[in-house]
Each structure stands twice: as structure tokens, then as C-alpha cells.
A and B are shown apart, each in its own frame.
Chain A
Amino acid sequence: MAKPLEEVLSHPVHTATAPRKRFWLLDYLSTVDHKKIGLMYALIGVFYLIVGGIEALLMRVQLFSPNNHFVSYPLFNQLFTMHGTNMIFFAAMPLIFGLMNLVVPLQIGARDVAFPFMNAVSLWFTFVGALLVNISWFFGDAPSAGWFAYAPIGLNQFNPGHGMDFFIVGLQIAGFGSLMGAINFIATILNMRAPGMTLLRMPLFTWTSLVASGLILFAFPPLTVGLFLYMFDRLFGGHFFDAAMGGNPVLWSHLFWIFGHPEVYIVALPAFGVISEVVATFSRKRIFGYTSMVFATVLIGFIGFMVWVHHMFTVGFGAMADSIFAIATMLIGIPTGIKVFNWLFTMWGGQIRFKTPMMFALGFLPTFVLGGITGVMLSAAPADYQYHGSYFVVAHFHYVLIGGVVFGFFAGLYYWFPKVTGRLMHEGLGHLNFWFMFIGFHLTFFPMHFAGLYGMPRRVPTYNAGVGLEIWNQLSTIGAFVMAVSIVLFAMNVAYAFIRGEKAGNDPWDARTLEWTLPSPVPEYNFAQTPLVRGLDPLWMAKEEGKTTVTPAEPPGPIHMPSNSYLPMVMAVGLFIAGLAAIYHRLFFIVLGLEVIALAMFYHSLNDDEGYHVLPEERALAKGEGA
């Protein structure tokens, strides 16, 4: 409930009006607005997508022919380690958090996330975590134990440089950011929905974001614990994973995959959510089987925690364990299949419009289905003894992660771009972007199935000549460059949109959910009046009744807004200093860094800043309607 105006104006510490405008850069650095934070997350994600992509291209050049010496073996190992780490932790995760930030509050009719300040902290932790891992290149050596950093190859004895320390500390910091982000979104989605939006009226993107956040909540702590143990082993002479000293390297493998398998769903589920939104909108139809979609999502999240051992079938746990985890893994195929058929039948009977977001969603379908198919194939443990650790697995998870997450993310990006920027991207360029990515993708990764079946292990800088591996590798390398072109096309399209893009208007796609009732770009307070929700797809319902927008649930009133703050960034800088100091055993700087964080938190607790209010008159002014 908004406070009456008199009370607001009489409150002593309030500035009743918005603070003066800051320079845009300073505004972004200190923002607590979910839309700006989302944009920065997306920028981080795209940046590391490009970094990881360049790393991938270098590897593909090396593998173009057998016994190639384009890069040295040790450099190759750093490349695949950094490629995996960047893509999973610093591309996929920020992209997903970016979309969640940009869209979830708008979809549920909220004015921001539950904890805007903490949201900014999450962003900055992710930023410095990613930075810390990647600057290792400039401090001597990048990590080289693979993105799952198995012990003991990642321990000091076999990895004496500092690269792995950067990896551990950086991931730990980024992990804190993700955990806080997840808590924030759970709180937001559960508490801040507009009146009338029951759980079973939430858009599917919001649902998948909720489930993904729940997965983060339970999956990241094992990683955090594992990384702490790793840190003790590497930095403080511990022996948790050192078999020679009575430790157990498999313990790390377990902890990692208890996190690592759900992680796949953490990034994939929100992408499924995007697909649900896009397919429904561009078929002009309600999503088919909404309730079963929700239950399938929850079920995938739940079973996702019971299958991690399928990453370790070759560890030798015996037939019983392998069988149990094989069957559990197969079970995931069922809710996933339900989703696929629901998408297909959403289009059935619809009026399909082939706009760019829909193209990516349509590209997603066959690609992701193939990834699911190889997933079921991999789940059959005895067959997996053959696939495991080979290029077949590389093919499989790129089908899931690119076919699922990247295609899903691009669908979402093209879909919500006009909402965020107020501009439309170019359709022709968008289609070209899609076709290059789609064809490049399959050209890169389809042949890898065969490379794997013809005996090529993953993570090898060279391969045996004359045993039928050359052709698959050459196709892959060519495909990788085609994909690179698609990213350039995408960048061109963004530039086009900013320079000459058409004005989008509130609802460029004839869409269904609340965010499309808002002006594009969305004002800082999102909803001038909180909307009243009477069913799934509130905007569509309103349109069916011949209205152009959703009925508000409250009269116009002053809107409470949180103030900007540099503290989240300051805290992250403190953590960065402490992390870097821990790597080099500089106690003084560790304490200094932690002190910065403590002081920032102290200041934030004591600082009685209750934000400010945007008044209805000002909103009218901003809209140009006159006071």
C-alpha cells in the first residue's frame, strides 16, 4: 500500500522528489534498478561469450588437422579450461540473471526486486569474480585443470602456478553473487506479485526463474563447500583431496557434480521459459498445457538433484549405483518430453509469425531435442562407458547448452530488446543472424558425435592421423567460424537498432503478459499503477475484452524508490582485493579487503536513507502530458 501523500511529504528524511540526474556512467555504477542491473548482467554475459568464443576458435584452429602446432599443449589446456569456465559461469549465468532481472519484475507487476541493494551486490560480485578468474592470464598462467578442476590434477603438486588459485577464489566470489541473486528472486517472485497473480497465473518465464533460483539455492552451497576445501588444499596446505595424505579426490568430484548437474538446469530452465513465452506470443495462442508445463519444470528441477553420478559412471562405483543413476537420469527425459510436445501443440492451430525471436525458438526445438536424445543415450551407463570423456559428450552438452541456453537466450534477447531499449532490431539482419548461428552450430557440433564414436577423447590438443578423425574436425572448425560470423551480425544488429531502429511502442509483438502493457523503454518505477491480474496472460485477456491495457489495482499515488548507492561496487572491490591478496598470501591486504566490506556494510546499516518518492504529477510531466 502506498502511503498517503501528506505523510510522505511531512516525513523529515525524505526527499520528496527524485534526486538530480547523474552522469549516465555514474548512474549505472551506483544503480539499484533491476533493469539497469539486468542490462549490465547481460553485457557481462555477452562479453564473456565473446571471450569464451575466441578461446574456442583458437582451439578449433589447433584441431583443424592432426599434429598441429598452432598452440602448445599447455596453452591448449588453459584454453579449454578458460573456455568452459567462462561459458558456464561468466556467460551463461550472467545472461540468465540478466534476463531474469530485466523481465521477471515486469512480468509479475512489481516495481523492483525484493532487495534492490543486494541485487547490485550480486551483480558486482559476479563482475569481480569473472574478472579475477580472467586476469590470471596476466599474472603468469591461466588455470589448466578443466572447468571441473578434478583433484589431484588441480592441486599444487600437479598445478604449481597460481592459475588454479585465481579459478577457485574467483568462482567462490561469483558464487556468492549467484546465491544472493537467487535468494532475491525467490523473495521477489513469492512476495511481490501484483494482486490477483496467483502462482498458477505466473508467466512460464517467471516460473522457470523461480525454479532455477531454487536450484541455485541448493546447488551452489555444495560448490561453495567444495571450493573452500579446495582453497584449504591449495592455499593453506590442507589435504582434503590428496589421496597420498589420506584425502579423497572423488569427494571433490561428487561435490562438483552435485552442483554441476543442477547447474545445467539452472541455465536451461529459464531458457525453456523464454521459449514458452516466445512460442505462445508468435503463435498468438495460449501456452498448451500450462499446468503440466509448471509441473514438468518443478519435476526437472527436483530430479536434477538425483542424477549427478551420471557424470562419474566410469569412476567404478559398481553396477548397482550406475543402474540407479542411469534410471534416474532417464526419468528426466519424461518431463522434458512433455515440454517439447506442449510447445509443438501450442503452435498447433495457431497463426505462426516467423519473427526473429520465433526463429531462434524454432531453431531451439530440433537442436534441443537432439541434445535431449543424446542425453538419454548417455544415461544408459554401459553405453556411457564408451561415450564418457569423448567428443560425443562434447557434442551432447553443446547441443543442450547452445541449442538450449544460447538459442533460448537469443530468442529472449530479440523478444525483449524493444522493451528494454524502446527500439526494434532489424528483421532481415536478425534472420541472417539466426541462420548463420543455426547452420554454424550444427556444422560445428554434429560432426563431434562421430569424432567421439571414432575414438577421440575430449580435451586433447591433437589426435591420431589416418583413423577417420580429420573430416569431422575440419567440419567443426569451419562451423565454428560460421558461428563467429553470426555473433558479428548480432553486434551489427544491435548497433543498427540504436542508430536507426524503429520505435517499438508498448506492444510490438502483440504479446500476452504484463511487461507489454508498459511503455518501452520502461520507466524507472515500472508500473505507474500496480495492475490487477485476473488470469494467465493478463494483457491478452484485456485485448480479448477490447481494452488496450490491464485495469490497475490502485489509484495513482506517490511511488517509493530506493536511492542509488556506490556501496555494492565498493564491497565488490573489497572482496576483489581480499581475493587477490589470498592468492598471494598477503595477510595485510586480505584484512584490508575484508575491512572495506565490513565498513561498507556498517555504513549501509547506519545510513538512514529511505529513498525518495516519484509523485503522480512528475510522472505526468515525464510523459509530456503537462502538469
Chain B
Amino acid sequence: MRPKHRIGLLLTTAVLLLGLTGCQRADMSVLDPAGPVAKMQLSIIMLSVYIMSGIFVVAMGILLYVLIRYRSRRGQNQPPKQVEGNNVLEAIWTIIPVILLAILAVPTVTTAFALDAKPTGSNVLNVKVKASQFWWQFEYPDLGIVTAQELHIPTGTKVNLQLETTDVMHSFWVPRLAGKTDLIPGRTNTMWIQADQPGEFQGKCAEYCGPSHGVMDFLVVAEDPRQFQAWTDRMKHPQVQPAGDAAVEGEKLFAQNCASCHSVAGTNFKGALGPNLTGFADRIKVAGVLENTDENVRRWISDPAAVKPGTKMPKVPLNEQQISAVAAFLRDLK
């Protein structure tokens, strides 16, 4: 009676499985890797999908057959033969899964070790990642650069990440580049990533960390090595001269209201509680989530908690004109 529905279900399943093959925009898709780490991880995913769909098809095939063939019919007044079991069959469905799982286990282990090996050599870039309730800091110890929300890396280069948190647990996830590593109080974790092609790769915090966990976003910006070099030069020697009256006024207000938390390289603003704002005008996003437009900068400053509830950045008592001035100052941080 019901098999029709089951066929329908299988068809829907098949249609949904097409989702696996794309036809969706996939800016954060695990299925569209852009570096060796995510590629290795995807190959394990696909291997397990193949093996397990085999098992699923066999099991559901038997189910369908049984439901059609052995449904009760009119006139069956004798109960069916009572079977205790069958050693051969039972051995088969013990041994075959063992073999299939072994096939999955071997690459699982080798990949786990391959990912765990810390890359070495002169061509490796080191970055210290520091997560705090709801933002990310990226420090390049060998280059003397500190930035936030956007991790710039050169393409084709292995990047060693050292991960720490200042408060609760977070987890570093860039689906197209690599799976997660947690940031845990009292621990320093490591992982490595590499981007094979230039692009912006969306990163997410993947361990629940408080009210704004869902918007604790960041970007990995992969550029070809020459452009990356140019970026590091700009970050090391930023232009911090405010141009225009508003920006000059903004700098003063910044010194009074913001410098206790924010620092800017090349100035005497040295606050450490919030993100380093060096080169802020070049950022793609404000606070990791809003497009970096003048309007959004003002929106952020006028009420940070409206964008990220629970954020440590307070609502600073400035009027609209003062906020515009501060925003103008930030516009000039190139």
C-alpha cells in the first residue's frame, strides 16, 4: 500500500542530493574548497558519502522489496514460518561493514595526521589569532602587524595559525579553506590553512560564545603575494594624517573617547581592549559584519549593541555631527 510514497521520497532525496553538486551560490560552501586543507577534508567527506550511500541503497532496497512482497494478504490464515536466524547472513552483514569501515578508516587516519603536521620552512607565514567576544584579532609577529576582522594571506603559502581566546570558547571556521579549530581558555591551539586562489573567504565563529555568536564573522582575504606585500607595507607605514576639518575634529574626539580601547599604528593611540584600527579605511567590513560604508561606520559608532548585542564596545555619548567627524577620521586611516 505505501511503496508509492517511498518512491516519491527517494526521488525527493535524489533531487536534494543534486544540491551537493552545486547550482547554488556557495561563498561559504564546504563543497567548494579553495585550498589543500579543505580539499583533503572534502575528499574524506565524499568517500564517506559514496560508501554510506551504497549501504543506504542496499538497506532501502531490501526494505522496499520486503514491504511489497511480504505484506499480509487476504486468505493467509496460517502464520508464516518462524525463523530464528541465519548464521551466514548475519556474518555477511557483520563482515561487509567491517571492510567498508576499514576503507574509510585508513584515509581518515592518514588525513588526520597530515593536517596535524605543523608546516615548517622559510615560506611559512605565522599568524596569531586572538578571539574575543565577538571579534577576531590577527597578529603577524614576524611582520609587526596587528589587524582585526580580516585575515590577509598570500596565495599559495602555508599559513600557520596560533589560536587563543581572551574570554570564552570560540571556534575558527573558514568553510572554503579549512574545518574548525576551537579557541579555548588556557590553551593554545594550532592549525594551518592555505588558499590556492585569490578571493575573500567568509569565516564564522562556530562555537557558541554569547549573544552575538551568530554575527561573529570575519574574512580571509587571499591575495597574490605581490599584493599581499603591498598590503603589509601599507600596514607598516600607514597614512594617519587626517585631511579636512571634520577629520581633524574627529581625531580629537577619537583621542578623548576611543583611544582607550583602540590603537592605530603610527599614532599614540594605544588602546588594547578593542580591534586595532590601522588601515581601517581599506577594510571590507565594519566589525566583521557591515559593509564598510560611511553610513555603516556611523551606524556602528552610534549604537554598537544594536548590531552586536553584548559587545564590549560601549555607546559613546557623541552627537550626530561628532559621530560624522569621527567617521571622517576613520575614513582617512589608509
Contact = CB atoms under 8 A, between A and B. Distances in A.
Interface of A: 72-74, 77, 145-146, 150, 152-153, 158, 243-244, 247-250, 283-286, 288-292, 314-316, 318-319, 322-323, 326-327, 330-331, 333-334, 337-338, 340-342, 344-345, 347-354, 359, 362, 365-366, 369-370, 373-374, 376-377, 379-390, 435, 442, 446-447, 450, 452-464, 466-468, 471, 540, 544
Given A248-B186, A286-B84, A383-B41, A455 B204 contact: yes
B216 to A, nearest CB: 9
Contact of B29 (A285, A333, A362, A468): A468
Interface residues of B, number: 100
Query: Which A-B residue pairs are the 7 nearest by beta carbons?
Result: A385-B179, A455-B28, A243-B186, A460-B214, A243-B185, A319-B116, A468-B24
Interface in B33-48: 38, 40-42, 44-45, 48
Contacts of B12: 442
Interface in B156-207: 167-169, 171, 173, 175, 178-182, 184-187, 189-191, 202, 204-207
Interface string B205-216: 111111111110
Interface in B54-79: 55-56, 59-60, 62-63, 66-67, 70-73, 76, 79
A348 B76 CA distance: 16
Contacts of B108: 323, 326-327, 379-383
A344 B85 contact: no
Contacts of A248: 186
Contacts of A544: 79
Interface string B67-105: 100111100100111111110011001100110010011
B52 A352 contact: no
A373 B180 CA distance: 22
A496 to B, nearest CB: 22
Interface of B is mostly: mixed
A223 to B, nearest CB: 20
A327 B105 contact: yes
Interface of B: 1-2, 5-6, 9, 12-13, 16, 19-20, 24-31, 38, 40-42, 44-45, 48-49, 52-53, 55-56, 59-60, 62-63, 66-67, 70-73, 76, 79-86, 89-90, 93-94, 97-98, 101, 104-105, 108-109, 111-113, 115-116, 133, 167-169, 171, 173, 175, 178-182, 184-187, 189-191, 202, 204-215, 217, 309-310
Nearest to A348: B66
Nearest to B58: A341
A285 B186 contact: no
A152 to B, nearest CB: 5
Which of A316, A318, A333, A340 has its CB near the most chain B CB atoms (within 10 A)? Answer: A316
A367 to B, nearest CB: 10
A544 B80 CA distance: 12
A463 B204 CA distance: 10
Contacts of A292: 85, 90
7 contacts: A362-B2, A376-B101, A450-B19, A453-B30, A455-B30, A455-B173, A455-B202
Nearest to A288: B85
Contacts of B81: 349
Nearest to A337: B97
Given A292-B90, A314-B171, A319 B112 contact: yes
B49 A377 contact: yes
A347 B66 CA distance: 7
Given A380-B48, A457-B204, A158 B169 contact: no
A158 B83 contact: no
A340 B97 CA distance: 12
A509 B162 CA distance: 63
A158 B168 CA distance: 8
Contact of A74 (B31, B79, B211): B211
B85 A389 contact: no
A457 B173 contact: yes
Contact of A316 (B53, B168, B187, B207): B187
Contact of B30 (A337, A389, A454, A458): A454
B179 A152 contact: no
Contact of B185 (A244, A382, A442): A244
A319 B115 contact: yes
Contacts of B25: 466-468
Contacts of B85: 288-292, 342
A286 B82 contact: yes
Contacts of B116: 318-319, 322
B93 A338 contact: yes
B175 A455 contact: yes
Contacts of A244: 185-186
B60 A369 contact: yes
Contacts of B20: 450, 453
A447 B24 CA distance: 14
Contacts of A359: 2
A373 B48 CA distance: 9
A380 B67 CA distance: 33
Contacts of A435: 5
